[in-house]
Structure formats: structure tokens, C-alpha cells
A = this chain, B = another copy of it.
Amino acid sequence: MMKQDEIFMHQALQMACMGQYSARPNPLVGAVLVRNGHVIAKAFHAQAGKGHAEKELFSQYAGTMEDATLYVTLEPCSHFGRTPPCVDEIIARRIKRVVIATEDPNPKVNGKGIQRLKEAGIDVTVGVQRAEAISQNAGFFLRMLENRPFVRAKVAMSLDGKVAMHSGESQWITDVPARESGHLWRARSGALLTSCETVSKDNCQLTVRHPTLPSLLPKQIDFHPPLKVILDRTLKIPASARILQHTKVLLAVGHGLSEQKKQHFLSQLPAYHQVKIVEFPLENNHIAFGAVLQCLAELEINDVMIEAGPTLLTGLLQSKQIDELLIYIAPSLMGANTLAMQSLEFSSLSDVLRGDFSEVKTVGKDIEARMLISDWARTNNAIIKNTQEFVCSFIP
């Protein structure tokens, strides 16, 4: 049996999920106001620049709060960021008690908000559903604590491990619902990363295409497409590639590329392009992936999703730089002779790589499974699962 605090914090975590397609780079935050065992207001953070969950809640409810308890999934902020500090308003409203799931790892907050509330004489409880709250914002926590985003790699394969490699809708292995689910995972990501090789083979766009995404967004909130990141050591990508169009692209190239080559490439692009070339150091003749992740963290990316072929995937698995595999498995056997398929052959994996399934379900005709690989992700296994159940139960 869950205690009362846990029940209401669960509701706050569910509220937080409402911002899952729009809150980034900010963390998901939900808040619930309770009096005499009844929820009297609830709110969430919808988008950077919009009100924090606490502020949204206060804008809904004007009555007295002196006998109320505020449940909030992340420590209220104590600093002036894009908006003024929430603790000031909580104190001004004379709320009796504040229950907080977890401290904010942001060094600008990190306990200072809790301290301010306590100094104002408010009864503060910290740590209710802490694990759930941390894993709900896994990418944000990793960015704050380790200066890198959460790295998710998507793979769609047949049951015998064959991966579609060439473009054309007919080459899709999985069915429409699985592909739509993949688009929702794109929508949750701050960046989508692929390789020049994959772009050359697939001419993929990495756009978010989902028929009902607008209805999943909070009201009056626009969707910001994720940044596209392309690993292209020697700048071989064709300037005509579709992925370079319309949205922001970071072209990650190797150190030492001539200025002339870069300028020539950019001059080939149409005038409205939003392509930026960034140089990275090399490791074993490859772009140092850790440096790319650090760069993405500095661009406030919480979650990056890799959609690339087995070559890049194998390298990143080998160097233990993937937190989670998002796997779609079709009910099909492709055989060895099937055209346009590449085997999921992790040929350079020297050791067996073990993980944990965090969520397994059918999406249309296919299986969607998440396999947690990194120690960080595996430690939070059970918790991410719970958070997902919230998503399922909450969104109608």
C-alpha cells in the first residue's frame, strides 16, 4: 500500500509527463496542491520561458493555502533564471507543508531552495518517490551531474537481427504503429544523431512525423524539432541531403579540416540553411564521441537519440557510450539473402554486453523493448518502468 504522500507525488509525476514533448531543455516538473486529502489544483511545466509548475499551479488557484500541502517533483528554484524564483512565491502564499521528490541537481539550486523554505518555517519533506523523479528526468540529471546527455540508440530489426539500411517506405521492417512510436521518441529527444554513412545510404530526414503529436502537446505550445547531429569526419555529406534542410543541423567533423573546404560546403547550401560545422578531436581515427556529448550538453541537450547503422552502433556499444537501446522487433525472418538488409553483427564486441529490459510491449504488430545498458541507466531500471506506466495511464 502506498502512503498518502506517495499517492499525491505519483499524481505530480503524472502531471510532469504532460510536458514530455515540450519542456526540454528544462526538466519535467509536476505539482499538486492538496487540502484535507483532496487535490485542489495541479499543474506542470510546459516549456522553457513559460511558468514553472508551481507558478502555473498558483495561477490556477487563488484561495488560501495556509492549511495546504504542495507536492512538487523537483526542488523549487531559488534563483532568477528565465523566471523569478519559485520559493519566494511559495513562502508568500504561506503554504503549510511542501513535499519534494528530489533535490534539483542544477548547481544554481541544489538544496538552496529547500533551505530557503525551511528558513521560512515551512514543513519540508524531501525524497518521496525520489527514484521515479530522477529517472523521469534521466537526461537532465546526467547533463547536470556528468555534463553529458542520456544516450538512447534506436534499432528496428527483424527477429533474426536484420536491419533495414536503404531508403524507401517499402524497406521499412516494422509497421506503422511502431514507426509512429519511434517518432514520439524522437519528439522527446533534444537531439537526433546519425552518421554521414547512414545519410548517404538512406537520405533520411530525421524529422518528427506523428499524426497526433499536436494533440499530445500542452495547449498553445509549439513543438520545437530536435537538433540534428551528423558525424561526418571528413565532410563527405552531399550538400543536397534532405537532412540538411529546414531545421537546425550540427555537422560534427574531425579536427583540422581546411577552412576552404568548410566554406565551399556551406556555400553549396540554400540560403535559408541552419547548418553549423563544429570540429571535434579524433580518437582512433573516429570523431571523439565523448567530446560530441559534452558539446551537446553545453547546448542544453538532455537526451540524444542515435539512429544509425550497425557500424556506428557497434563502436559506441564497444566504448560503452550508450545508455539505452530502444528496440523494435518485427514478427518476421528476413534470411541472409534479403536485399537492402544489414545484419546486426556486433562484430567487434569483444565481451558479452548485458543489460536489462525496462519495458517490453507490443506496438501494433511489433515488439517495442527498451534495454538499459549503462550502469547509470540500469541502476534506475525499475523506476523508469513505473514512470512509463504513468504515461500510459494518464494520456487518454
Contact = CB atoms under 8 A, between A and B. Distances in A.
25 contacts: A159-B371, A160-B161, A160-B345, A317-B333, A329-B369, A331-B355, A331-B356, A331-B371, A332-B352, A332-B353, A332-B354, A332-B355, A333-B349, A333-B353, A335-B346, A335-B349, A335-B350, A335-B351, A338-B352, A356-B365, A360-B360, A360-B361, A360-B362, A367-B367, A367-B369
Contacts of A353: 332-333, 335
A348 B334 CA distance: 10
Nearest to A371: B331
Given A160-B161, A360-B360, A352 B334 contact: yes
Interface of A: 158-161, 317, 325, 327, 329, 331-338, 344-357, 360-362, 365-367, 369, 371
A362 B352 contact: no
A160 B162 CA distance: 9
7 smallest A-B Cβ distances: which pairs? A335-B349, A161-B161, A336-B347, A333-B353, A331-B355, A332-B354, A335-B346
Contact of A346 (B336, B354, B356, B362): B336
Contacts of A161: 159-161, 344
B331 A357 contact: yes
Given A159-B371, A161-B160, A335 B357 contact: no
A325 B333 CA distance: 11
Contact of A348 (B160, B332, B335, B367): B335
Contacts of A366: 357
A350 B336 CA distance: 8
Nearest to A361: B360
Nearest to A314: B335
Nearest to A353: B333
Given A332-B355, A347-B335, A327 B159 contact: yes
Contacts of A360: 360-362, 367
Contacts of A336: 345-349
A357 B350 contact: no
Given A345-B160, A365-B357, A352 B371 contact: no
Contact of A333 (B329, B335, B346): B346
Contacts of A317: 333
A337 B349 contact: yes
A325 to B, nearest CB: 8
Given A159-B371, A360-B361, 14 more contacts: A160-B161, A329-B369, A331-B371, A332-B353, A333-B349, A334-B352, A335-B347, A335-B348, A335-B349, A336-B345, A336-B346, A357-B365, A357-B367, A367-B369
A350 B335 CA distance: 7
A64 B355 CA distance: 60
Contacts of A345: 160, 336
Contacts of A369: 329, 367
A337 B365 contact: no
Nearest to A370: B331
Contacts of A349: 333-337
